[in-house]
Amino acid sequence: MRKLILILTTVFALTATAQENLYGFTVKDEYEKEVKLEKYRGKVLLIVNTATRCGFTPQYKELQELYDQYKEQGFEILDFPCNQFGAQAPGSIQNIRQFCTENYETTFPLFDKIEVNGANELPLYTWLKSKQGFRSLGKGIKAKFMSGMLKKKDPGYASKSDIKWNFTKFLVDRQGKAIARFEPTQSMKEVAKAVAKAVAE
């Protein structure tokens, strides 16, 4: 049985990574209704795995500011809560929606809670990681601290494409191709600059 699961997981992963763009994927929204990402064709997307009790949670404010600035120009932020990192996205999806609305007045699309690494990872994330692997945590105190934390758990973490923590961001262009990846320790100014460029193209 375990062998069969491993084979099926491998097949699904290969199928996901073979896609040229993200439009073939289907995800679930906050009401557990299926959403075909085809609906976002022609838009610039920022896909983020979020958490409500993380040191990076205040990035919701900057994400909303970014959304307000560019949404009329065909920009969307897709918010995927994930509880895999320090169990920092507890509660139901309704709890998460309430938290985000009350604390950060978020208006961008919220999707169902997912896993981004491992056997149960969302196929969309399998694809994203295959197109934009891990490069660097960037510079600064937060990056240094996170690097030390990750090394304790896995000395070879930097050689793997896995999502390292909450608020990792993938930028997808208007053709549905993943063109950049930003770790949570990287400046939101870098993210904003890349978004502005993608929206203008």
Token pair recorded at residue 53: 């009790």
Q: What is the DSSP string of 154-198?
A: -TTGGGS-S--STT-EEEE-TTS-EEEEE-TTS-HHHHHHHHHHH
Q: Would you tell me the crossing angle of helices 59-70 and 188-200 to the nearest 10 degrees?
A: 20
CA distance 127 to 56: 24
- Catalytically active residues, by annotation: 54
Token pair recorded at residue 34: 């299926």
Q: Is 156 exposed, middle or buried (0-12, 13-18, 19+ CB in 10 A)?
A: exposed
* First-to-last C-alpha distance (Å) of the chain: 49
- Give the number of residues written for the chain: 201
